[in-house]
Structure 1
Amino acid sequence: MLRLENVTKRYGVGAFGGTTFTAVRDVSFEVPPGEVVSLIGESGSGKSTIGKMILRLIPISEGTITLDGTDIRTFARGRRKEYYRRVQGVFQDPFSCYNPVFKADRVLSMIKEEYFPRVPRSEWDERVESALRAVRLDPGAVLGRYPHQLSGGQLQRLLVARALLLDIRYLVADEITSMLDASTRIDVLNLLADLKARGLGVLFITHDLALGNYIAARTVVLRRGEVVEMGETEKVFANPRHPYARHLLASVPQLHARWNGEQDDAFTGCPVHEGDAAQDAAEETGRLAEVEPGHFVACAGAEGGCPVALRRAGTAAAVGR
């Protein structure tokens, strides 16, 4: 089990670091083996910071992250390889992970040099071919090629194959589909589902709710570094309890409900005030904002502001609590 308990991350800011900024505050959740957990939130919510702490790329300010009950900070320099044999990460921009001067499969040979120096070349080649086929890559199409000769999807899957060569147990997938086209994105998501079936635990970091719903058994929603919603994905999506989670879900474009310009009196997506109730609340408070016809204005209720309660008309409500 990969478990986070009351994890906090603070950064020193200012010219001399005299003040602090809390990027992650008191976060607790776990990633069981054989399960995909989505970590969802808007940009700047602390998702990638959590991923970096799990991967020991940045230190933890408070709290603990444990792997099978062992605090990962106890994996000192001499044991760091032991940790990275079990936990690996794949990041948002696959092109930034490769040196353009070298062939792309150098990331695989570096694993051999560092972790398996005594494995015979013939056996290693078999392992590489098996790992590539496991991520749906044709060895003949990717080996010996430079990064610019491969697509983003191929490079991303090559990084997953690199992790598989270590026989990892947990994968931190940080926005790994954000730079891919729609068809390739589905291929990568299906690959993560295959890894889950093999018993790997996957932390799927994303700002895209639709992708999280597609792949994850459980969902954790972050806002400003704090967990505001957590639970089984079906329950979180069907009945979100926190206003921010409801706002995120309401913001997902609906392909079956295209706006047609005939919804002048409709407030849509507000987690607190909807439809006529929003207009009534606005009239009671006396807070009406004039806007030009065809423009949108936000409802100012719910946790400091609801940016999705929109009305297309000459007058729109700015609803307060």
Structure 2
Amino acid sequence: MGTGIVTGTGTARRPRAPVAVIGPTAAGKSELALDLAEDLDGEIVNVDAMQQYRGMDIGTAKLDVADRRGIPHHQLDVLDVTETATVARYKIAATADVERLLGAGRTPIIVGGSMMYIQGLLDDWEFPATDPTIRGRYEAQLADIGSVALHARLADVDPVAARTILDSDGRRIVRALEVVELTGRPFAASAPTIGDPRWGTRILVLDRDRDELDARIAVRTDQMFDRGLVEEVERLCAAGLRDGLTASRAIGYAQILDHLAGDCTLDEARERTLIGTRRYVRRQRSWFRRDRRAVWLDAGAPDVHAAARTALGVS
């Protein structure tokens, strides 16, 4: 595939195609994405599932409006916490954003770390149908026996899926079991074939040394709690957070809800949030390493912005 660069008189060269800045939580994607948006006359398309929710700001590390440098952001604050976030809905909405930006001569900068959302958007993933009866049955089992026990049932019928889905991720466990029952095939069989990414998207994966990233996660977790994550969750409870199938299970939010229910102390909620984030990061890294199309960048390098420009062929 070529560099996908266009030139204009008096303007910097920029890719025709979108640029995806993806990678594990706390790597530093947002700042690099803003830098590239300024370089490439771009706008941000969010691909973080939980940043779609209005009011879920502190616990998702959502950039404040004042920190967005005046650059438009899409797919932020588009759902209420009572609504269910789905890859299928996101794919339709984000596809429209990307194609509108391309049509207007702007560069979409796709940024985030939600693995299935990224693959759904960039690989045009067609999702198996859903069956409310089957899904309802598994959701009832989830409520009855908990995610760990339901995960064990998934391991019995689809061990490959069980290895890639956290035993705390009840919603994905339910979806995997539903797909297996509906299709009679492993959950992974419904995944797309990895080929050229849609729109010729250039994929950059931003990562850091493992110990450095672990330290950043610890600092971020402390900052979230110090900035008022508990109070944010309390406000969202008044908006129906406990009834939300996806929002209530987000890392950090689920642990605070357990604390507010008296199931753990605040210190325990903080520690569980830290552990859950680190586990999620391990899974992100494993997922992104399978994508041979990506250019990997070290976020701890002296000038990762320059490295990204070089990778994109931007002068």
Q: TM-score, normalised by structure 2?
A: 0.29
- The higher radius of gyration belongs to 1
Q: TM-score, normalised by structure 1?
A: 0.29
Would you tell me which structure has more strand in proportion to its own residues? Answer: 1
Would you tell me which structure has more helix in proportion to its own residues? Answer: 2
